[in-house]
Amino acid sequence: MGSNRTQHRKKMALLCFLAAVAMVGLMVRLGYLMLCRSEHYSRMAEDLHERERTIKAARGRILDANGVVIATNRTVCTISVIYNQVKDREGVIKVLSRELGLEEDGVRKKVEKRSSREIIRTNVDKEVGDRIRDYHLPGVKVDEDYKRYYPFDSLASKVLGFTGGDNQGIVGLEVVYEDYLKGINGKILTTTDAAGVEVENTFEDRIEPVAGSDLYISLDVNIQQYAEQAAYETMEKKGAKRVSVIVMNPQNGEILAMVNVPEFNLNEPFTLNTEVPAQLAAEDRQELLNQMWRNPGINDTYEPGSTFKIITAAAGLEAGAVSLEDRFSCPGFRIVEDRKIRCHKVGGHGGETFLQGAMNSCNPVFIDVGQRLGVDQYYRYFEQFGLREKTGIDLPGEAGTIMHKKENMGLVELATVSFGQSFQITPIQLVTTASSIINGGNRVTPHLAVKAVSGDGAEVHRFSYPVKENIVSEETSASMRYILEQVVAEGSGKKAALEGFKIGGKTATSEKLPRSMKKYISSFIGFAPADDPQVIALITIDEPQGVYYGGTIAAPVVADIFKNILPYLGIKEESAFTESNQ
C-alpha cells in the first residue's frame, strides 16, 4: 500500500511539474506574441477587417509638336458587388441589369457568387455610374476609372496605338512609352465586421493615385492631316490597296507625319475598317485586326526601285568611282553575265553624263556605277550608310533590311541591287538613309518622342537619339542635293516641281513579287529646300490601278503636300530673279 501511494505521489508531482512547465511555456509564448509580434498580428487583424479597392491612375496624355492633345482620358466607372454587403439581391439584380443593359441571368450569377468582390461591368459611362450610385444600394460599388480617348479618332492610328481594357498600351507609342504614361494606382481601404459588412461611421483610408507623365511628340497634327488627306485622295483616285506617307526633318530625324491609309478608329480599335463576311472565324478576324494595326512604314519591307539610286549614286561619288561629268551610253539594256537587264526606256537614252543618267533614272548607268564599285566596296558602303541595321525608330516591330549575303552576291545581283531591285527595305529605312545623305552626311535616328512631363509641368525626361557622323563627306552630300534638284527641275521628277521652291527628289516604280502578277508600288521621295533640306517626304502607293509610274502619280502628291506644309513650316518662297529687280 505504501509503495502504491509513493508511486501515486510521484506521478502527481511529475504531472504538476509538466503542467507548470507547460504553463510557463504558454506564458512565455503569450508574452512573446504580445510584446514582440503584436504589430504583425495587428496587421493581420486589420487585413481581416479591411477591404481594398483600386483607384486607377490617370494615364498620361500624348501631345503633338504644338501641344495639341491627341490622346487623353475620359472618366468611366467600374460597377461591382460585395456579396456579404448586399441586402436586397433581387433589387440589385433588377437595377443593374436595367441600367447596364445586361441579361438578368448573367447579373444574377455574379450577384449571387460568394466572393469578396465581383465586377459586374467596366468602362461604364459616368452618367450611368452616377445613376446607379444614386440608388444607394448596399453592397453595390461604383468606382471611377479612366478610359483612353483619342479626340481625332483615326488620326495617326498606327503611330499612336491604343490601350486594352486595363488601360495598358498594346501597340504603337502607347506600348513603347508605357512606363512613362501608365502612372501609379491608388487604393480605397474600408473597415468590415467579421461577416464582411462595412462598419458604419468609419472612415475610408485612401492612397491617392499618381497620374502618368504626359508625352510630347514631334508629330504635327496639321501636317499629319495634310498628308492624310492627300493619301486618301490618292488611294481613292488610283484604286490603290493602301498609301503611306512619311514626313520627317532630315536634320534631326523628327517625324512630322506618318500616314498609313486606310487608318482605323482608335476609339474602336477592335472594329475592322473593311467589310468582312458576317460569319468569320475568330482566328481569321484576329488576323485581319493584326493587319489593320500594322504600320507598313516600319513593319513591312518592299523593293524600293529607283529611289534607291540615291544610295548607289552617293556610294559611287564617295568612292570616286564616278563624277557628274562621266559619260555613259544607254542602248536600252545592259548585258551582265548571261542576263539582259533592260532600261525603262526601251529605245535607250543614248549618250549621257552621269548627271543626265540620274535625271533620266537610267538603269544601265547605275548598273555601270555598281560594277565599278564591285561587290566588296558596294557592300562596305551599304553597311557604312547604316542599311544593314534597323533605324532604331521608337515604334514597335521595325523590320530589318532583306539583302543578299555578301558571299552570294554576284555581278547580276550587284547590278539589280544598284537600281533598287532583288532586295527589300522598309520605307523608314529609305527615308532615313536618304536624309543622312543629303543633310551633310550625318546618320540620324528617326523618332517621335521629345519629352515626358509630369502633371505639375515639370520635365521628367528629355529623349535623345544617336547620330552617326560622316557617313558621306559634305562634298558628296552637296553633289547629291544638286543631282536630286536637277531630277525635279528637268528630269523624271518634274511633276514634283513647285513654283517658288527648290525641290529635290527621286521617283520609283517597283514591280511586286511574283512579277507575273504585274502589280506595282509607285513612290517618290522629295525634300525642300534642295540646297538646305528642312523637310523630306516619302510616299508609297501600293498596287495603283491604271497608270502606275512614280513620276506620274506619286511625285505630284508630294508636291501637293509641300505646297501646304512648306509655308506652314516657315520655309519662304524664293523670289524669281529678273532684270527688273537687279
Cα separation of 156 and 172, whole Å? 10
Question: What are the residue ranges of helices labelled H in 182-339?
Answer: 221-238, 282-293, 296-299, 309-319
Integer distance in angstroms from the first to the last C-alpha of the chain? 146
DSSP state of 466: -
What pairs with residue 327 in β-bridges? 353
* 306 a catalytic residue: yes
Contact between 461 and 179 under an 8 Å Cβ cutoff? The reply is no
Backbone angles phi, psi at 353, to 5 degrees: -80, 170
Looking at residue 430, its amino acid is: L
Contacts of 177 (CB under 8 A, 6+ apart): 169, 215, 394, 449, 452
Cα separation of 515 and 495, whole Å? 27
**Angle value at C-alpha 132, between 269 and 48, nearest 5 degrees:** 95
Strands 62-63 and 214-217 come out as parallel
Catalytic option among 157, 244, 306, 361? 306
Query: Which candidate, 534, 461, 445, places its Cα nearest to that of 216?
Result: 461
Polymer length in residues for the chain: 582
Cα separation of 119 and 166, whole Å? 13
Query: Which candidate, 517, 496, 516, places its Cα nearest to that of 506?
Result: 496
**Angle value at C-alpha 300, between 294 and 302, nearest 5 degrees:** 150
Backbone angles phi, psi at 217, to 5 degrees: -125, 165
Backbone angles phi, psi at 311, to 5 degrees: -70, -45
Q: And the C-alpha cell for 258?
A: 506618318
Q: Peptide bond before 446: cis, by omega within 30 degrees of 0?
A: no
Contacts of 508 (CB under 8 A, 6+ apart): 304, 305, 306, 307, 308, 420, 521, 522, 523, 524, 525, 550, 554
Contact between 551 and 493 under an 8 Å Cβ cutoff? The reply is yes
DSSP state of 211: P
Cα separation of 51 and 192, whole Å? 7
Query: Which candidate, 500, 483, 501, places its Cα nearest to that of 491?
Result: 483
Cα separation of 41 and 24, whole Å? 22
Residue positions annotated with a catalytic role: 306
